[in-house]
Each structure stands twice: as structure tokens, then as C-alpha cells.
Amino acid sequence: MQETALKGRKFTGSTRAPKTYSTSRSCSHKGCDTRLSQYNKREFCYSHAPTKYPRLRGRIVKAEA
């Protein structure tokens, strides 16, 4: 006899819901009213995000000495 059924967790309809942060937050930048997504955990909008990397097409650009 073969055991075809795997024992384990049942599939329930409610899997983990996406994490939500507080609703209707806006950018922390002074004077900026850009709404942030509730799924976005950043505190700044895209234009005020502290770390901005230019598009490098996947290359690592070395600083030339």
C-alpha cells in the first residue's frame, strides 16, 4: 500500500495576510504630502527616500582612482 497523502498542515483559506502598516501615512519629508502605501514600510516617498541608487544596469561601477 502506498501512502499518497502527505501528513501535515491543512490548507486553510486564511494564509498569512500581507503586513500592513498604519493606513494613510504620508512622507516624513517636511512639506511633502505624498501618500505612502500601507504596504510600504518606508517613511519617505520615492523622491525623498534617503538611499537612492541610480540605475546601473546591473553593473557594479567602481570608483576610478
In the complex, which residues of this chain contact Zn ion (CB under 5 A)? 27, 29, 32, 34, 45, 48
CA separation (Å) from 51 to 16, 34, 40, 44, 47? 29, 17, 15, 10, 10
Between 3 and 33, CB nearer to Zn ion: 33
What's the min distance (Å) between Cβ of 2 and Zn ion? 60
What's the min distance (Å) between Cβ of 36 and Zn ion? 9
CA 4 from centre of chain: 38
What's the min distance (Å) between Cβ of 39 and Zn ion? 17
